[in-house]
Amino acid sequence: MNVLVVSSSPNKEGLTAACAQAATEAIRAAGQQAEELRLNEYDLRLCRACGNGWGTCREEHRCAQDDAFPELHRRFIAAEGYVLVTPVYWGDPSESMKAFTDRLRRCEGGRADKPGAIAGKPVLVVAAAGGSGNGTVHCLDTLERWIQHVGARKTDFIGVTRFTRSFKLQQIAEAAAAMAHGL
């Protein structure tokens, strides 16, 4: 079983990286495969709302842009579960996470007649606020709406601040392991 741990911070040593590492290690310790994707290492553009506003995404479940997204999308579809780990920037997911999830939502957004390939798959969401901790709940809410749009299955939502880091890393590991055992 393959779980993608998608992180979206340029800081490879900060709170977001520690959260992604905790999830990755726990999934592997649970006997599953875990692959971490660091979105900031890819050429990932914003959605252009091609054509009539939908382009190829709605009907064909694929993006017409030529960047890293088509390959990331294929890897996402092939996975059996996901952990999304984002820093909190002004109460929202990071720009790279937002760009990625916006494009995934357009390609995988559920329709009764043609559900996306990630519908029903489990998702654990972690929002890491390194500053004041403000905005964490709003960030989690934004990603909860994304999960609803793509029809994925919510497993847990964990907000982490620099003040709660020590015990929240353990909570992330336990939630990731529980999700991995459920695959």
User: Beta strand pairing status for 122-129 and 81-89?
Assistant: parallel
Provide the sign of the torsion angle of the four alpha carbons 21, 72, 78, 142, taken in this order: positive
> Considering the entire predicted model, what is its pTM?
0.94
Decide the pairing of beta strands 33-38 and 2-7. parallel
pLDDT digits (tens, 9 = 90+) for 81-116: 999 999 999 999 999 999 999 999 988 886 666 778
Burial state string for 99-130 with b = 16 or more CB within 10 A and e = fewer than 16 = bbbebbbbbbbbeeeeebbbeebbbbbbbbbb
pLDDT in tens, 64-86: 889 999 999 999 999 999 999 99
Domain hosting residue 90, numbered range: 2-181
Based on the structure, what is the number of domains in the chain?
A: 1
For the domain that residue 102 is a member of, what is the CATH number?
3.40.50.360
